Structure 1
Amino acid sequence: MSAALGDDQLLLWPASQVRSGAVPAEHRGPLNEILDWSEEFLVTSNPALGRTGPVCPYTAPSLRKDLYYLGVAVDDGGGLDMPAVIAQLRTWHARLTAELSEADRELVALLVVLPHLDHTDSTELDELQRKAKDEFVAEGLMIGQFHPVCPEPGLWSRTFRPLRSPIPLLAVRQLLVFDLPFLESEPHLERYLTRFADTIPARMRNQIVARMTNNNHLDVA
């Protein structure tokens, strides 16, 4: 049995340890289910996706380099404190990426499975992600929610649902230059521009100009 990473109410294992069964028996079911989903859904193409390539182009290299971590939120007897669990995700991402190259930092992914949440209604998970997102983006991170009934469509197809997973979960990774469509607020845009000003692709620059122009029109109105 391998010792888990984490503190207090968050435990994490690299995917290789999950696959080998080196996690406590009480956590193997949901962790293996999400790892199977990652290896069968995220890394493959889908005819409904609206573009070529895998659903998530970063999952396969992350798994290959064993930078893909799966975790559980644990009630230590005092009740599960989800804001504390989410804060620990930020802390552990920083620790796990501290000694890595920039290329490898982009591949580090932390997924915490939340089987205790309602599988038929994503409202609670959506609210957790919404409340956390500002702080994550401010630190150069993205936090996303996946849920069996997540209604969010894909970027390339309005009928495809890439954020549907068999178990509710939150996923954390580094903010990337291609994340612009997922950044809603002006503080998010400011953080994005600060981080990527010299490397923004032309099509992303066009999106930023269009967005700022629309905002100016709204201000004038």
Structure 2
Amino acid sequence: MTAGDQVLIWTTAEVDGGQVPAEHLPYVREILEWSRDYLVSSHEQLGRSGPVCPYTQPSLRKGLFYLAAVQTPDVPAAIEGLRSWHGRLTATLSEDDQELLTILLALPHLDYTDSTELDNLQREAKDHFVADGLMIGQFHPVCDEPGLWNAQFKALRAPVPLLAVRKLVVFDLPFVIDTDTHAESYLQRFAPDIPTRIRDQLVKRVSSPSEDLATAKG
């Protein structure tokens, strides 16, 4: 599938079947294999029970897991196009399935030894994504972002630099308190339906900025 002139997107079946241009196939296959192995598994350093990403397995099972590649030199424009494409895909889905729709955008041209450029791309895109009710996260071979439940566990490390996009859910509070704008978008979308334990964590964060939100997802 083509998302405008900026991004190519494939289902997992298309990736498995080799229906991907040769210049992209090795990278998207490597990311898919990593997703099926690492993201769906538990990890002794994770700091909680369950898989590294609780959304990946149901997304894979329901055919709502997509791989994508950039086909323009203008990477920020491609990322912006991905936001629109995610919206088109979710338009025909139920509310539950919308939460499972996931797109991983491979960015193998970025530096594998320094995540700065990827971090900047994610940071620059995040305002628009969160405002649209979407999460955009970065994964990189040397990503140093601490885990939510164990700061020593680098949960966002992947074999290929990539950006992951899915719908923003109420349990994403720890990911959107980095700026007032993101927090406001979150509150406008979910208040007053925020679960009590999430609301308590938000109150603690406001009253004590250094408070650790690692248990926000319980």
TM-score (norm 1): 0.91
- Give the distance between the partners of 2:9 and 2:205, measured in 1 at CA: 38
Task: State the alpha-carbon separation in 1 of the partners of residues 92 and 119 from structure 2.
Answer: 32
- CA drift of 1:138 comes to 0.7
Residue 141 of structure 1, aligned match among 134, 137, 153: 134
Cα distance in 2 for partners of 1:126, 1:163 equals 12
In structure 1, the residue matched to 2:77 is 84
2:29 to 32, 36, 40: 32
Deviation string 1:22-53 (CA, Å, 9 cap, x unpaired) is: 21222110010000000000001011111100
Q: Distance in 1 between matches of 2:188 and 2:94?
A: 20
% same residue: 60
* Larger CA Rg, structure 1 vs 2: 1
Deviation, 1:16, is 1.7
2:122 is equivalent to residue 125 of structure 1: no
Q: In structure 1, the residue corresponding to 2:23 is in which secondary structure? A: helix
Indicate the SS of the match to 2:42: coil
Equivalent position SS for 1:25: coil
2:189 match: 195
Cα distance in 2 for partners of 1:68, 1:173 equals 10
The one-letter code sitting in structure 1 at the alignment partner of 2:196 is A
Instruction: Give 2:108's aligned residue.
Output: 115
Counterpart amino acid of 2:82? Answer: L
TM-score, normalised by the number of residues in structure 2: 0.92
Q: Does 1:162 align with 2:181?
A: no
Aligned length: 208
Deviation at 1:56, TM superposition (A): 0.2
In 2: Cα distance, 1:149 partner to 1:37 partner? 15
SS in 2 for 1:26: coil
Structure 1 Cα separation of the partners of residues 145 and 205 of structure 2: 21
Over the aligned positions, Cα root-mean-square deviation in angstroms equals: 1.1
2:193, 2:48 → 1: CA distance? Answer: 23
After superposition, residues 1-16 of structure 1 pair within 5 angstroms as 4-16=1-13
1:140, CA displacement in angstroms?
Answer: 0.6
Tell me how far apart the structure 1 counterparts of residues 41 and 202 of structure 2 sit (CA, whole Å).
Answer: 30
- Compute the displacement of 1:9 (Å): 2.1
* Bigger helix share: 1
Tell me how far 1:17 sits from its aligned partner: 1.1
Query: Shift in Å at residue 70 of structure 1?
Result: 0.3
Counterpart-to-counterpart distance in 2, 1:188 and 1:126: 17
Where in structure 2 are there 5+ consecutive unaligned residues?
A: 210-218
Distance in 2 (alpha carbons) for counterparts of 1:21 and 1:196: 40
Does residue 207 of the first structure (1) align with residue 201 of the second (2)? yes
- Is 1:23 paired with 2:17? no
